[in-house]
Amino acid sequence: MLKTQIADAIEGQQTAYKFLLDGYWNLVYGFLLKRVHNEYEAEEISIETFSKAFDKLTQYDDNYEFSTWLITISKNLQIDHFRKKKSKPLHKSLEISEELLNNIADGNLSPEDLLIKEQNLAELLRYIKLLKPHYQEVINLFYFQELSYKEISFKISEPLSNVKVRLLRARKLLTEIITSSI
């Protein structure tokens, strides 16, 4: 199952990216939270971890556990962040191949998108306000201001891959909030 999802993600299937993000988010985030003791920083590094992992999926060796590979990426990114933080303010940058970024679907409606569109606007806004501010921001920019991933990336000064992962995560959290209140 995991090998199939990884292969599908390499081919650019959005559902495979979502499967990997949903399946391993808590593991990576929990690992980082124990190391950095800061929710915001743990989320930021988790987003960068998945961005980098998605960019390097073709380099994953399935002789090893996928979770171990993700944890290694997150650990290295956390060490880099710590070093940068020690020497100067945190600088957010990632090198991501244009080919991978173009493979992540931009306009296809996922089940989360359909759920969001079906909700009453006032109720939806109330749910969105329950998200952390940086998730509220990408939801607002994408759905209400109708900016593209690239425009959001420019507006919030984040790499495009980080915007895509943050929006995936925001959709998942919003779906959980909506589902739990129904």
Q: What are the chain's domains?
A: 2-87 (1.10.1740.10), 106-181 (1.10.10.10)
CA dist list (Å): 41 to 10, 34, 156: 28, 11, 16
- Along the chain (182 residues), what's the average pLDDT of each consecutive run of 10 residues? 87 88 92 89 90 89 89 90 70 53 57 56 79 89 87 89 88 86 74
**Could you tell me the two tokens for 14?**
């959005």
Residues 55-87 as b or e (16 or more Cβ within 10 Å = b): bebeebeeeeebeebbbebbbebbeebeeeeee
Q: What is the pLDDT of residue 69?
A: 92
The CA distances from residue 167 to 19, 28, 69, in Å, are: 14, 17, 23
The answer to whether 42 and 28 are in contact (CB under 8 A) is no
pLDDT for res 31? 92
Give this prediction's pTM.
0.63
pLDDT value of residue 92: 47
